[in-house]
Amino acid sequence: MSNWQNSIREASPYLSLGAQVAMTMVAFVVGGYFLDRFLETTPWFLLAGAIFGMVCIFVRLIHVANTSGEVNKQ
């Protein structure tokens, strides 16, 4: 296997994490936006979705950091 392929293989968990972060934020913000439009409560659900999305992302990043530290110890 070439050096380039090894680099991509090693970076794939982090690329996946980036996609998870982006999609989590988009999902909660868009969900909040449509709830606001449906319930006519602008901008409360949009803000709640953005805040909840950031909390979920932060928790996921902490989980990944803790598990990657455990893998490196072994």
pLDDT higher for 14 or 40?
A: 40
Q: Long-range pairs for 22-25 at CB < 8 Å and ≥24 separation?
A: 24/53, 24/56, 24/57, 24/60, 25/50, 25/53, 25/54, 25/57
pLDDT at 54 over 70: yes
pLDDT, mean over the chain: 89
Domain ranges of the chain: 3-73
pTM of the model: 0.77
pLDDT higher for 38 or 67?
A: 38
**What pLDDT digit, counting tens, does each position of 19-35 carry?**
999 999 999 999 999 99
* Predicted local distance difference test score (pLDDT) of residue 13: 80
* Predicted local distance difference test score (pLDDT) of residue 28: 98
